[in-house]
Structure 1
Amino acid sequence: MTVRVESNSYLTEDQQRVYQLRSSLERNGGTPGGFLDLLATVVSEGTWRQVPSGVNADEPFSSFKDFIEAKPPFGLGHKPEYVLKVLQVPHPNEGVPEIRARMDEMRAEVRKMLAEEGITGYSEEQRDRDIAAWAALDRSGGWWLAFFVACQVTKNADSSRKAANRPGDVPKISAAEFARRSGTSPKRVLRYLQAWEAAQDAGVVKVAAADLRPGSKPVELPGDEVWGQFYGPRSGATSERGALIAAAAEEAGIRPTKALEVKENPTALKVAIIADERTAEAAREALEARAAETRKMERAQYIRQVAEEGKAKTPAGLPLDLPASARQKAAEYVAVVEDQKSTPEAVAEAYEAVQSLIVETVASDPEITARDRRTRFTKTLTSTVRSIEAIDPDDLVAVADDDLRASIIAAQKRINELAELIRLPAARRDT
């Protein structure tokens, strides 16, 4: 027969402290000031090593993990991962230096003891949240961003496998995977990692990237004034991007170094655009010109592809092989797009002419016309059906009013009319 202990009247002083610790964890989980204070005492005084590990047991707990998981009144009766989450909540008086130091010491010791048992509290879900925070700050640059990348990213699969073999570790990921999760490019991610490695080689940071891992405790970071020396240093016009910017600057009659400096400091450009209307207007004009040039290039590529391959798509998206005559006419417009002096307007006219060729080809063949119309109707109906199926009946009933009911009844009537129409024989539809 098992007897559940409900009273704490006969507990020793150490057991009383454990009982209070567990009670505080459950009572104050939202703002665990009392729990953190008691846990700091239990850890610093080694209380968890002094209480018995169970009923009729004189031996103490063999590990801090066992102490956390043990049922009350001997342990806390919780999962270690839950305790690690509670540790992330600041102590209400953590602004006091002495309390902050005490909390930091306690958190470090608890995490160390649990890490020895293969429990770090750092998960893929936490990594995703941290990467989202990193992405939000990415454009501002800085040492914290480089530190986080150094903790998360490896350059090769061997390092990732090695990290994965260490108990309790969430393994590092590739620059490509980090870029996918953060919405940036692998090259940009690697520049942060290279900045950290270069700073470590120069003695500016003390911890090598190879010694960091996801969830590592923050280290002392250098000042912002030396950030530019290690992250993305300008290489003049030696890179492809630099060469393009330098050439464009010379054509505009300004020094390439000025344009390259703006390239290396997009935050400064952003501030200038926000603060100054003339700069904002210049930025708008540049973006419009860039968009026009992009459309010109895309349309030119489309015309070349139609002329060379003789393939296109109908308005509804069906693959279409153009007849020789249409393909020959499309080829005549290639000369327009190949001319370096062609304006975006001239390329747009050529693009519209090629589109007209496709429309004419579809209209000249009744079978293609019928297939194209059928495909268009099918797409519309499929989209409509999916939208209707996505409606939750319970939610609909909860918010339905007279207008909504009228709309649904009208839609039902229209669907019934269409269904009745396609059921009629062709002869009756013609009368």
Structure 2
Amino acid sequence: MTVRVESNSYLTEEQQRVYQLRTSLERNGGTPGGFLDLLAAVVEEGTWRQVPSGVNVGQPFASFTEFIEAKPPFGLGHKPEYVLKVLQVPHPNEGVPEIRRRMEAMRGAVRAMLAEDGITGYSEEQRDRDIKAWSALDRSGGWWLAFFVACQVSKGADGKQPAASRPAKISAAEFARRSGTSPERVLRYLQAWEAAREGGVVQSGTADLFPGHEPVDLPDEDVWGQFYSSRRSSTSERSALVAAAAEVAGIRPTKALEVKENPTALKVAIIADQRTAEAAKQALEVRAAETRKAERVEYIRRVADEGKVKSPAGLSMDLPAQAKEKAATYVAVVQDEKATPEAVAEAYEAVQALIVETVASDPEISIREQRTRFTKAITTTVKNIESIDPDDLIAVADDDLRAVIAAAQKRINDLAALISRP
């Protein structure tokens, strides 16, 4: 390759372009239209390979990183990270398709060349800022959050720099720690994105995405519920959740997965060892609390969506519109996966109180409620009496038992006489 070297006080044509590129970067860093145009030309024409790398040096730069860092008039005299930040600013005419394509090609080429030297422009500080932004938008849910998780999280992430010189992904447990959510929830977002990729709804798989990835086209929110679920269903998902929980507990996932795959061994350990039995008891109590919480969340959601409930006596009824709207206010509270069991219990009791108020405020419903309660009580009593074997009763009857039966008969006769009056 022929390298044109600066002679005396004059700059070569290529060096003149480099000089203009540097001054444009320093002068127009806020709105770098000129810089982006010049940088695109430098990349397209390989200008940076055609200037010497220093005084009395006949060889070009060995890398694009060296070109950026080299002092003028040979290079730009800046840190590569600064150039990467400037690349994030849109070109003022990027609305024009041809200019947008040119800018995207230039940005991709620059990032690829810098990535060869391990420079991605994505620091742990930026990752923390991005995760905090994710946490702030956490309640909104949806495709953007799943996309961000797919960029940041890998199920097998160990925090090491990947071979392709892209920013390293982190584990679901580490992401959860930084964002203040649960590893299970992070994995559900990741699995939603993977399912959408398998279904052809999104084009980029999790293996194609990385921290700092450019935004991609996202599906409509209408189809989000088809891919994201707060329930634990498939075997692979259960294994992933077990592994994530093991990370949080500070144990190797393989240990927890071994126990999951061998319930007989777990049963033997519970029977034979008191400490294991106590741990199992505590786990079952936690599981029971989580199940009760999930059932109450589903109940509140169904009441708000459908408005169909049962009264304390078991009477099926439709909530009035006003009561239904009030029940809907509790849905956002209970569907927040950060909601404590106490908060869910309070919301559940509030919805139950709405039902009681509805019954008490409507005379017709109140009468039907009392009739249902009386019918249930009498029907249960009759069934219990019918279950008594007369022969067995005669064999064991004494004065006390005869007195109880006589009192019951008198009470039933009195009630019958009461309701038979005109």
Q: Which bin holds the TM-score, normalised by the shorter protein?
A: 0.5 to 0.7
SS class of match (1:56): coil
Please report how far the alpha carbon of residue 234 of structure 1 lies from its aligned counterpart in structure 2 after TM superposition: 6.1
Instruction: Give the match for residue 213 of structure 1.
Output: 210
- Amino acid of the structure 1 residue aligned with 2:78: H
Give distance in 1, aligned partners of 2:49 and 2:127: 33
Please report how far the alpha carbon of residue 87 of structure 1 lies from its aligned counterpart in structure 2 after TM superposition: 1.1
1:182 aligns with 2:179: yes
- Amino acid of the structure 2 residue aligned with 1:150: A
User: What TM-score do the two structures reach when normalised by structure 1?
Assistant: 0.54
Instruction: Give the match for residue 172 of structure 1.
Output: 169
Instruction: Give the match for residue 325 of structure 2.
Output: 279
Please report how far the alpha carbon of residue 141 of structure 1 lies from its aligned counterpart in structure 2 after TM superposition: 2.0
Give distance in 2, aligned partners of 1:231 and 1:292: 22
Q: Structure 1 residues 145 and 248, CA, compared in 2 at 3 Å: closer, same or farther?
A: closer
Give distance in 1, aligned partners of 2:154 and 2:145: 15
- Contact 1:8-1:16 at 8 Å conserved across structures: no
- Amino acid of the structure 1 residue aligned with 2:227: F
SS class of match (1:160): coil
Higher-Rg member (1/2):
2
Please report how far the alpha carbon of residue 160 of structure 1 lies from its aligned counterpart in structure 2 after TM superposition: 2.5
- Amino acid of the structure 2 residue aligned with 1:128: D
Give distance in 2, aligned partners of 1:59 and 1:246: 72
- Amino acid of the structure 1 residue aligned with 2:45: E
5+ unaligned residues in a row in structure 1: which ranges?
A: 1-5, 261-275, 295-431
What per-residue deviation string (whole Å, max 9, x for no partner) do you get for residues 87-122 of structure 1? Answer: 112222223333222211111110011001111101
- Contact 2:146-2:192 at 8 Å conserved across structures: yes
Please report how far the alpha carbon of residue 227 of structure 1 lies from its aligned counterpart in structure 2 after TM superposition: 1.6
Supply the RMSD in Å over aligned alpha carbons. 3.9
Q: Where in structure 2 are the equivalents of 1:330-345 lying within 5 Å?
A: none
Give distance in 1, aligned partners of 2:344 and 2:196: 41
Please report how far the alpha carbon of residue 284 of structure 1 lies from its aligned counterpart in structure 2 after TM superposition: 7.4
Instruction: Give the match for residue 196 of structure 1.
Output: 193
* Aligned-pair identity (%): 67
Q: Structure 1 residues 52 and 233, CA, compared in 2 at 3 Å: closer, same or farther?
A: same
5+ unaligned residues in a row in structure 2: which ranges?
A: 1-5, 234-286, 309-321, 334-340, 347-422
Give distance in 2, aligned partners of 1:255 and 1:242: 18
Instruction: Give the match for residue 160 of structure 1.
Output: 158
User: What TM-score do the two structures reach when normalised by structure 2?
Assistant: 0.55
- Contact 1:245-1:259 at 8 Å conserved across structures: no
Instruction: Give the match for residue 120 of structure 2.
Output: 120
Give distance in 1, aligned partners of 2:145 and 2:133: 10
Q: Where in structure 2 are the equivalents of 1:33-52 lying within 5 Å?
A: 33-52=33-52
Give distance in 1, aligned partners of 2:227 and 2:217: 17
SS class of match (1:147): helix
Q: Structure 1 residues 249 and 234, CA, compared in 2 at 3 Å: closer, same or farther?
A: closer
Give distance in 2, aligned partners of 1:146 and 1:286: 20
- Contact 2:154-2:171 at 8 Å conserved across structures: yes
- Contact 1:246-1:259 at 8 Å conserved across structures: no
- Contact 2:68-2:79 at 8 Å conserved across structures: yes
Give distance in 1, aligned partners of 2:203 and 2:124: 27
The total of aligned residue pairs comes to: 269
